[in-house]
Chains A and B, each alone.
Chain A
């Protein structure tokens, strides 16, 4: 093996290791790990099981909100959420039928919501504006209509 090739391969290996280190540091030290909640639920009885029997938005602290939301073909419940600027919002999500996606354009919110599992994701909304919420996992004929908004005032 040539010397230049050894240098190249060492750099390649190093690059992958640096990638790993940064990813790990962000995930575990800075709390930026991807949404990985492990609670489960009976997907056919979502309406009867707390907290999803009462989907909605609750104020749980100073500029802190919890949103309990169900996803179903082809809507988000509750929709058209409003929060003041600077709020931290904790989303608790589950699906009542097929696999859906929960994406808020212009933020890092992006989570899969398969039936039977409860997914959780948190986001702080600093900038006022109207954010587009959409389903990004194909879920049927009306998939392109499955959207709502989060208004930050």
Chain B
């Protein structure tokens, strides 16, 4: 068995991805970018409405549009891109997908698409204007929740597929380290599975029976807490996906070597262990949780910042080292030696830069008193457009310029590269304007998730208008960015010249010390992760259940 296995792996690396594996990633990426197109257009409608420039028709109100925008970009774009990208990585680094794994990816795909249709129909019919956070006791049509549950199950299929693939490789390669990109994939799929368990419990056990009327009331705070145990994990899953490209792909594109393998793996393990507990900072100004428990959660949230600060160092060290090797000089003069005209570098580089203010803003927000100032204001919207819209999505864009040609057996032409550079600049300017005005107007008190209003010509509210206008300006630039990006993806998928594109994975430095094998002990990391989750959630959840008020009946308030 061992010999054909290696042969197959070598063939896979030399000849590129097999047609069957490529089709999975291509389909997932196609759905992801269609979600970007539709979600982006809906975002523009919102931005224009919020600035008071556009009155939405009665059959398509602001909250419907907002629910769909959130669902498309926060769930569909990110989940489909992440799965498409990591399945290509598993195929490339582990010698092709096993037939059973391919089958699971397709079953997962079908479940997610069916689930999505189930969720979207009630939204379009105006029966689910509850946002992607769907806090009870607001109750949407039960089909909306059934759709969400199917999406989660679809994601689980893909997670289990990845576990089977990695376990099989480990069995055939005893004592070897799982290749770094598949190590990232393992971490991401572990988080996807464990992170979505709480929301699955919330939706399946609590909300669905209640929305059908089989159960009269619901425990509002338990539902909310389970949601955020999932919600914040999800954002860190996208972030970890982006980080994988920063550590593994970007060094190769600039012609450098990877940063320390051991440190990279420690960052992954740390992010997996500490992630789920971070969700509580979304509830800092909720009643029913004591101030001391909230303080413990500040620590748990801030702890996630530490691996990110490790990453910041590693990234800039790789850049400087590579640039100096290529003849870069001076304290900061080396930056001239970076490949600025290559979109595969430029987009993820700006994404990393954006994470500096984005991460700092995150630290601000998860700190008790500062959170109270900005909670549920436009500041938060600015924050996640900086983190998700820039750090994560721009990295995804950068990946698309080699991943789409790779799976389509085509090449990135200089023309599309140039288009990509222009797209990157437009996106950057648009996001800076939009997110900057959102942060500012949020500090002044303007609330999130609120359609255009002056609160009866209140002077304070009128003072927010110039910033909201800037928001619409940024949003308009962003829709141009969306159109360019989707055009580029379609071109690379179906029309670009045929050819071979490399899957860029950077090598380790020469003479790097060997990574100890304990990093592979995922069973142990999962146990430690569960202990952390227990520390974070057992006390508050028990309190909410033991000290529960009478429950709430469902409300349809839209």
Contact = CB atoms under 8 A, between A and B. Distances in A.
Interface of A: 1, 5, 8-9, 12-13, 16, 19-20, 23-24, 26-28, 32-44, 73, 97-99, 101, 103, 105-106, 108, 110-120, 130-132, 134-145, 147, 149
Contact of B368 (A23, A112, A114): A23
B373 A110 contact: yes
Given A13-B306, A36-B286, A43-B551, 6 more contacts: A16-B303, A16-B305, A34-B291, A36-B288, A101-B375, A132-B445
Contacts of B553: 44
Interface residues of B, number: 70
Contacts of A136: 375-377, 447-448, 450
Contacts of A130: 458-460
A99 B458 CA distance: 24
Given A99-B220, A114-B224, A132-B460, A37 B313 contact: no
Contact of A110 (B317, B372, B453): B372
Interface string B222-252: 0010000000000000000000000000000
Contacts of B377: 103, 136
Contacts of B458: 130, 132, 147, 149
Contact of A23 (B138, B369, B445, B460): B369
B455 A134 contact: yes
B371 interface: yes
A143 B447 CA distance: 11
A144 B291 contact: no
Interface in B514-558: 547-553, 555, 557-558
Given A19-B302, A118-B287, A138-B450, A33 B294 contact: yes
A139 to B, nearest CB: 6
21 contacts: A12-B306, A23-B368, A26-B368, A27-B295, A36-B287, A43-B550, A43-B551, A98-B135, A98-B555, A103-B377, A106-B444, A108-B369, A108-B373, A110-B376, A116-B550, A134-B455, A136-B448, A138-B450, A143-B450, A143-B451, A144-B451
B444 A105 contact: yes
B313 A24 contact: no
Contacts of B138: 98-99, 139-140
Given A112-B285, A147-B456, A40 B131 contact: no
B447 A27 contact: no
Contacts of A111: 285, 287
A12 B549 CA distance: 42
B288 A16 contact: no
Interface string B372-405: 1101110000000000000000000000000000
Given A5-B317, A34-B369, A114-B220, A23 B298 contact: yes
A142 B298 CA distance: 34
B65 to A, nearest CB: 13
B63 A108 contact: no
Interface of B: 61-63, 129, 131, 135, 137-138, 220-221, 224, 260, 263, 283-291, 294-295, 298-299, 302-303, 305-306, 309-310, 313, 317, 363, 367-369, 371-373, 375-377, 444-453, 455-456, 458-461, 547-553, 555, 557-558
Contacts of B220: 99, 114-116
A40 B287 CA distance: 9
Contact of A98 (B137, B369, B444): B137
Nearest to A140: B557
Nearest to A16: B302
Contacts of B294: 33-34, 36
B368 A33 contact: yes
Contacts of A97: 137, 555, 557
A37 B447 contact: no
Given A34-B284, A147-B455, A110 B375 contact: yes
B310 A9 contact: yes
Nearest to A8: B313
B461 A132 contact: yes
Contacts of B317: 5
B71 to A, nearest CB: 14
A132 to B, nearest CB: 4
Contact of A105 (B283, B460, B548, B552): B460
Contacts of B446: 105
B137 A115 contact: yes
Contacts of B449: 137-138, 143
